[in-house]
Structures are given as C-alpha cells and as structure tokens.
Copies of this chain bind each other. A is one copy, B any other.
C-alpha cells in the first residue's frame, strides 16, 4: 500500500477517524485513499482555519484527536490561529500537512515555504516522513504524542512522493501515556494549607472543570470554607444540571484582584497562576496579591480530578456540596439587549447542549442565566484568537450527534471564519448559531480607554466600527446554505431558539443589540 493509505489506516487504528480537510494537489493521495479506508470520515472545509478549529471543538467533546488535512505551508498557516487556541485548550490534535515531493523541494517551487519553521512555531511534536516505510510508525507516534499529557498539537508532514509510493504499512497504535498522578506528599502538603484556618482560594482549571473534578473541588470548598474559582477561559466547563456553580476568575485584572484579595493562600488545580490577559500601563500583570502564598496541587498535565478527590479525602470532605438550584429565567420580551439575550438562552437551552462561546462582550450575561439550567458543556475561547467559535461548534457537532450545539457569536468575531457555516450545512450538523450584532469591535472600544491612549478621535473610532457597511449575517448564512432569520425582539429570539432546538440541521439567528 502507498504512504497515504498507510497513514489513514494507522490513524483509524489509533482511534482517529475524523479528518477535517482542505486538500490541494500534494494531498490528493489521501483524498483518493478515502475510498479504500471507509472508516475515516473526511469533513470538507472551505478554509483551513475552519478545519483546525473544528478539530479543536471535536477533541474537546470527543476526548480524542481528530486529524486535519492541510495543503503545504500556506494551508498550515491558515489553520495556525485555531491551532493556537487548541494548544491553549490542551486538546490532542493531529495535523497532517502535505509537502512537495522530497526531490522537488530543491526547485523552490511557488508553494514552497519554511513549512518546518512554521510548524515548529505552533506544534509540540512534529516530524516529516521521508520514506513510505516510515509513515505508519510516524503517524502512530503523532497520535500518541498528541495525547501528551497534556493534549497538544502533533504535526506530521508528508511529502507527496512518500504518499504515492508503495512499500508502506499501517502501524499499530502506540501506547498513550496516562496523566501522572500527583504524589501523596503534595496532596498532604496542600491539605495542610486548607487546615491552616487561613483564607484560601482554590483556583481550578482544565480537567478539573468536568463533573468529577468540580464535585470534588466543591466538596473541598464546602468543607473548608475556601473560595472556589474557575479559570477564565476553560476548554470545557461542565455546567447546569445541579453541578456546582463555580465563579470564574474575571477577565479584567482589577476585578480578578478583588476576587483574590484577602486570600492568604492560592491553590492551583489544573489552572495557571493568575495573570492579566493583556498588559496595561500602570496596572500589574501578575494578579497574585502580595502576601498570598501560591501552591500547586496539580498542574495541567496531571490527573487533576484524581488529585482533587485525594485532597477531598485527605480533608475528610465527604459531605456533598450544595447543589445549584434548577432555575431558568422567564421568557423575555421587549428589546434585544445583553440581558434579554441571556434570558432567551437560559429559558430555552436544551438538556445536554454544548455551548460554544465567542460572544465577547455581548454575551457576558449568559453564564449567569444558564447556571441553573439543564446539564450542558461550555467551550470558551482558550487562546484569545477570535475566529474559533463557528469552527469549534462545527467540530463539536461532529463529535456529538444527538446533542445540540449553541454557538454564541459576535459579528466581529464571526467574520474571521464565517466559512464554517458551509460545512455545517454540508454535514447537516445540529448547530444553532446566534450572532449578536453590535456593529463594532466593542471590546476594543472598552480597551481603548484602558490602555491609556490619548488624542484619539474620529479616525481611531472608525477602526473599531463595523457600521459602514452593515453586515447582513442572515444573507451570509443563506449564501452558504444555512437557514437564517433575524430576531426582531427578545420574544422572537426565544421562539427562534426553541424552534432551532427542535429541528435537525444548522440554523442561524441574527440578533441586533438595541
């Protein structure tokens, strides 16, 4: 068999059976091999940033890597920003990037570039397969490497002649390294902190925000009186359905500092030490208050839920934490505002939903309106690179047939990877996209004051203004085959949400904020 077929068979054998693709000539052997390896599902995208963002969303929900199929350096570059977000989400992801044939590279043909340097700038593991005999083993190693721990980006570069040449064979899966267990002495040392009687904040992130970790963390907080906070932008946060409602560390430093103030100890479980998202003149980047001692129970690569369970055991924190009351907001009416949008979402959210949140400023009220709702998973923008929402929603829907995906978007961020809608239509994915239109890069309007600029006027404001011309998101969605409607008021928004949740396939709702 040729290299391309060996690659596909190895991936499938290792449990990687979805490939988000945007192929070119150098990847056509993989395309052809799809008809010989039916276990691989190839999902076509119109832009590589959709492919990588979808692989991120897929992995967050499926818990295992998808592959991408990208065309040379430019294809990898187009996917880079969402690989960055995936890297910050610590998901496993296997990039497959075609390259020119090994003997062709010395001609520096137009599509040649510094593919190796580009891959290195975003990958934790990378390799170029130089012989068909190596492709199988390299692919098996790529999958294992992607699992980490923690999950990370593995990029396998496959020259075209390696793909088309015979002499390759599928390789058996490589063992996946388990997440290391936190040593007992660390558990005991952290338990002492909680027993000290001093004020403690427990900051949880990563795998601690799934059901098991949350329950354990909440028991610890309940038993010890510690304050429980969650990292600001989690990869997956299990919410609703009576799960502990954990307050997030705030985005803005001043608010985060206020949440942490008074803590004698800050204990990290799967989260990193608090630092501000951006630097601002005269404001600290390090958000750990002076005089607060930092302790790490478990790093992002550890088995964090097990560490929290062990901590709870050490503290005798057996009593279940109080369950969050099941409360949904009433059906809203009137104008479309951040608050009525939140109420409409909270009122209608179906059980088992996956919420992908890239609503930036417009969706700030939604978390509070959904914490008492049915069980759902919340996927945040982990790496801060906007253009992640629509693709991640696409991949999450591929990973979870039967669950509804609700993608909360803003107009500015939606436009980076709007092409994802076409893939949603093509695959008939159960994604409801709500685009909250404020006709601005509103977050930058806030930030403009915070960064201490001076002298800005009309020309500066024009750079943050999306009113000229107005984006017609309904037209854009319909142009890519996704049924779309504009909600005129909050009541209609709630109705459109409910209808979309009861029907199959993608829907888009445009909501213009008053």
Contact = CB atoms under 8 A, between A and B. Distances in A.
Interface of A: 21, 23-26, 28-29, 31-36, 38, 42, 44, 46-47, 49, 73-75, 77-78, 80-81, 84, 88, 100-101, 103-104, 107-111, 113-114, 117-118, 120-122, 160-161, 164, 233, 272, 275-279, 281, 285-286, 382-385, 387, 412, 415-416, 418-419, 422, 425-426, 443-444, 447-448, 451-460, 462-464, 466, 468-476, 478-481
Given A103-B285, A122-B114, A471 B32 contact: no
Contacts of A276: 104, 107, 109
Given A104-B278, A455-B33, A475-B476, A110 B382 contact: yes
Given A31-B460, A80-B80, A469-B480, A279 B100 contact: yes
A470 B108 CA distance: 36
Contacts of A77: 77, 80-81, 84, 122
A450 to B, nearest CB: 8
B468 A426 contact: yes
B277 A118 contact: no
Given A81-B74, A385-B74, A416-B46, A448 B479 contact: no
Given A28-B453, A470-B481, 18 more contacts: A28-B451, A42-B462, A47-B415, A73-B80, A74-B384, A78-B78, A100-B278, A101-B279, A107-B276, A108-B275, A109-B277, A109-B278, A117-B117, A164-B281, A164-B453, A415-B419, A472-B478, A473-B479
Contacts of A42: 459, 462-463
A38 B462 CA distance: 13
Given A110-B233, A422-B471, A120 B122 contact: no
A157 to B, nearest CB: 14
B444 A111 contact: no
A385 B422 CA distance: 21
A117 B121 contact: yes
Contacts of A100: 278-279
Contacts of A452: 164
Given A463-B23, A478-B475, A454 B32 contact: yes
Contacts of A23: 444, 463
Contact of A35 (B73, B88, B458, B476): B458
A287 to B, nearest CB: 9
Contact of A78 (B49, B164, B279, B281): B49
A297 B211 CA distance: 70
Nearest to A233: B110
17 contacts: A25-B444, A28-B444, A31-B444, A34-B463, A35-B456, A47-B387, A78-B416, A103-B285, A104-B276, A111-B277, A114-B120, A114-B122, A418-B418, A471-B479, A472-B479, A475-B476, A475-B479
Given A286-B107, A470-B481, A473-B479, A25 B415 contact: no
A466 B479 CA distance: 13
Contacts of A114: 120-122
Contacts of A31: 444, 448, 453, 456, 460, 463-464
A428 B448 CA distance: 27
Given A109-B276, A160-B451, A470-B481, A32 B456 contact: yes
A25 B442 CA distance: 11
Contacts of A108: 272, 275
Nearest to A71: B385
A171 to B, nearest CB: 21
Given A275-B109, A277-B109, A463-B42, A425 B101 contact: no
**Which of A81, A100, A111, A272 has the most C-beta atoms of chain B within 10 angstroms of its own C-beta?**
A81
Contacts of A279: 100-101, 103-104, 160-161
Contact of A275 (B107, B455, B466): B107
A153 to B, nearest CB: 12
Contact of A469 (B33, B104, B382, B426): B426
